[in-house]
């Protein structure tokens, strides 16, 4: 019954191998089982197992034997089961195990995929962020603020870092802008060099001084490559070799033609005292230099101009006093020479005073309404006689219907007397001096002007002298001009009177043909 319930075959075997009972066969007919391997093993170890082809049922069987002792008896209980049954059980077990495993791994894979997908998207954001930072932009709140895991904390830190860098950068840029605009607005040229003489900083003014083309990158260029000027090379050499902490470096150099600069230099040192480079500041001192040379030229010129007539006067006075000539005619001639020179002296001092008044701006100009034709007439009256003596034709041409001039009659008269004096003085015999008065065309709503031109057929002024002709004491031919009684102050006075009237002066000249001096004065707009 038990065998039926279990679905297996039960055999009870005595210790000597006799079959005491069997669930399937008649035990008496069965052979001795003492040599069965499972029985031998059970006798030895308590239990025994064997798989064997059963000759009785003719298929593989699993035998399991148990050694039993009790009630003074010793026996083996053997349970046998066809192996196919076990294999069926194992197969069905394996099947369910496999399907369970497949389901579990499919679920696991899905879970892993979802997790890794989420993770990879967050890493992609990190890569994108690092790309933006590498590109120089520091994004604002790049990562959404969520989660408390490690990556979320990393993202939060990166957000904060980006924000901090942005703020610091803005501060640095603001500071740089400030120092850039200070450097840009400086009228001095500033140059900062590293210890080898390469440019670290150069402001606009310094670029102009060294003729650096617009847009050229000068960083790390050697100053020696930038300027071929020997003076610059010398300065650099001196700065790099001298100990500037002892005494500040200062030197005046002429960089371009007639452009003078005072170069001051200091060495840059860090707190530890090591040499970081040097700062050079270039001050343009051309105007001061020019002014200084003008002043010394002026003093020299004045002394010279005064000495000539004074020497002559003293010489003749002494002669008359100590060794008067016997012939009164000679004495008269000496007196005439003295008269001429003292006349020249007084004209000179008068001109110098006029000039100094005009230059200092002390002269008060009256603002009379003047008729240009009338003014010209008054000037010409002075010269009829002088022109006639040189057989010079003096002409005038005044355009009709001109507006009035606003200006100072005496000063304007002095201006044109100087111009006509020059024209007649320098024009040879039988020349022509003509005066024309016209109104100049008005452009772009500009105020109307009256132009008075003094034209002569004289020797002309060489082109190279034209720019300097209005300087005090400047004369093309000193000796000739002095012979003619000139001091070289006439055109300087003219220039100042024109400037005081807010007018314009221009001189055109062709050698051996003649000179034209044009004066443009503002017309009275109230007409
Ligand atoms: N019309 C002209 N033709 C040729 N040369 C001229 C003429 N006007 C001026 N010059 C030249 O310019 C120089 C300066 O003229 P400016 O009138 O200032 O001095 P000046 O005539 O020599 O002396 P001053 O006018 O004081 O008597 C003259 O010495 C002369 O060489
Ligand atoms: Mg003159």
**Position 244 pLDDT exceeds 70:** no
Which one of 29-38, 169-178, 269-278, 438-447 scores highest in mean pLDDT? 169-178
What pLDDT is recorded for position 473?
87
Three-state SS for 20-36 is: EEECCCCHHHCCCCCCC
Tell me the C-alpha distance between 399 and 449, whole Å.
13
The residue-averaged pLDDT of 12-30 equals 86
The residue-averaged pLDDT of 406-425 equals 94
pLDDT band at 243 (very low <50, low <70, confident <90, very high): low
What pLDDT is recorded for position 246?
63
Instruction: Kindly state if the Cβ of 486 falls inside 6 Å of ligand 1.
Output: yes
Question: Closest by alpha carbon to 422, among 308, 305, 339, 507?
Answer: 507
What is the Cα 478 distance to its own chain's centre?
Answer: 51
pLDDT in tens, 94-120: 999 999 999 999 999 999 999 999 889
The residue-averaged pLDDT of 471-489 equals 81
Relative to the CA of 423, which ligand 1 atom is closest?
Answer: 1
**Position 527 pLDDT exceeds 60:** no
What pLDDT is recorded for position 444?
66
Indicate the SS3 state at residue 469: coil
| Mean pLDDT, the chain, whole residue set | 89
Tell me the C-alpha distance between 29 and 66, whole Å.
22
Asked if residue 277 lies in contact with residue 192, where contact means CB atoms within 8 angstroms, the answer is yes
Asked if residue 261 lies in contact with residue 232, where contact means CB atoms within 8 angstroms, the answer is no
Relative to the CA of 514, which ligand 1 atom is closest?
Answer: 3
Instruction: Kindly state if the Cβ of 459 falls inside 6 Å of ligand 1.
Output: yes
Instruction: Kindly state if the Cβ of 204 falls inside 6 Å of ligand 1.
Output: no
What is the distance in A from the centroid of ligand 2 to the CA of 489? Answer: 7
pLDDT band at 245 (very low <50, low <70, confident <90, very high): low
**Position 59 pLDDT exceeds 60:** yes
**Position 490 pLDDT exceeds 80:** yes
**Position 209 pLDDT exceeds 90:** no
26 versus 160: which is more confidently predicted?
Answer: 160
Question: What percent of the chain is predicted at pLDDT more than 90?
Answer: 49
The residue-averaged pLDDT of 142-171 equals 88
Q: Which ligand is nearest to the CA of 347?
A: 1
Q: What are the structural domains, with CATH classification, of the chain? A: 2-87 (3.30.450.20), 186-284 (3.30.450.20), 289-359 (1.10.287.130), 364-522 (3.30.565.10)
pLDDT band at 308 (very low <50, low <70, confident <90, very high): confident
Q: Which ligand is nearest to the CA of 495?
A: 1
- Please count the residues of the chain: 527
What is the distance in A from the centroid of ligand 2 to the CA of 289? Answer: 28
What pLDDT is recorded for position 466?
93
pLDDT in tens, 432-457: 999 999 998 776 667 789 999 999 99
């Amino acid at each position: 019954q038990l065998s039926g319930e279990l679905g297996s075959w039960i055999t009870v075997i005595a210790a000597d191998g006799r079959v005491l009972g069997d669930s399937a066969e008649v035990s008496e007919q069965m052979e001795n089982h003492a040599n069965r391997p499972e029985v031998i093993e059970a006798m030895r170890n308590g239990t025994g197992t064997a798989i064997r082809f059963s000759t009785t049922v003719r298929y593989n069987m699993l035998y399991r034997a148990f050694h039993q002792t009790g009630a003074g008896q010793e026996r083996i209980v053997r349970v046998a089961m066809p192996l196919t049954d076990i294999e069926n059980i194992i197969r069905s077990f394996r099947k369910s195990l496999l399907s369970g495993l497949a389901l579990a791994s499919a679920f696991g894979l899905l879970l892993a995929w979802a997790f890794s997908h989420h993770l990879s998207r967050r890493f992609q954001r990190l890569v994108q962020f690092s790309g933006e930072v590498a590109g120089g932009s520091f994004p604002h709140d790049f990562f959404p603020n969520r989660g408390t895991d490690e990556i979320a904390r990393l993202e939060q830190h990166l957000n904060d870092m980006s924000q901090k860098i942005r703020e610091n950068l803005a501060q640095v840029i603001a500071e740089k802008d400030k120092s850039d605009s200070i450097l840009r607005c400086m009228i001095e040229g500033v140059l900062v060099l590293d210890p080898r003489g390469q440019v670290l900083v150069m402001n606009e003014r310094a670029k102009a001084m060294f003729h650096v083309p617009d847009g050229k990158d000068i960083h790390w260029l050697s100053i020696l490559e930038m300027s071929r000027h020997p003076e610059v090379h010398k300065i650099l050499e001196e700065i790099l070799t001298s100990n500037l902490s002892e005494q500040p470096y200062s030197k005046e150099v002429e960089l371009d033609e007639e452009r003078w600069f005072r170069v001051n230099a200091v060495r840059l040192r860090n707190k530890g005292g090591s040499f970081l480079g040097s700062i050079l500041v270039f001050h343009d001192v051309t105007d001061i230099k020019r002014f200084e040379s003008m002043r010394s030229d002026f003093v020299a010129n004045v002394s010279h101009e005064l000495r000539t007539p004074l020497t002559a006067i003293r010489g003749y006075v002494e002669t008359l006093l100590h060794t008067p000539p016997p012939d009164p005619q000679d004495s008269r001639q000496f007196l005439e020479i003295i008269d001429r020179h003292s006349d020249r002296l007084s004209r000179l001092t008068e001109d110098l005073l006029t000039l100094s008044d005009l230059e200092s701006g002390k002269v008060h100009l009256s603002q009379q309404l003047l008729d240009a034709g009338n003014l010209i007439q008054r000037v010409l009256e002075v010269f009829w006689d002088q022109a006639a003596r040189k057989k010079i034709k003096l002409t005038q041409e005044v355009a009709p219907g001109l507006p009035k001039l606003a200006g100072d009659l005496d000063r304007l008269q002095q201006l044109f007397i100087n111009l006509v004096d020059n024209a007649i003085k320098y024009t040879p015999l039988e020349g022509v001096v003509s005066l024309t008065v016209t109104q100049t065309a008005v452009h772009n709503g500009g105020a109307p002007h009256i132009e008075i031109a003094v034209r002569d057929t004289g020797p002309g002024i060489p082109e190279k002298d034209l720019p300097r002709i209005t300087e005090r004491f400047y004369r093309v031919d000193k000796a000739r001009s002095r012979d003619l009684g000139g001091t070289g102050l006439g055109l300087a006075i003219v220039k100042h009177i024109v400037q005081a009237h807010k007018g314009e002066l221009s001189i055109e000249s062709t050698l051996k043909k003649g000179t034209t001096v044009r004066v443009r004065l503002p017309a009275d707009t109230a007409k």
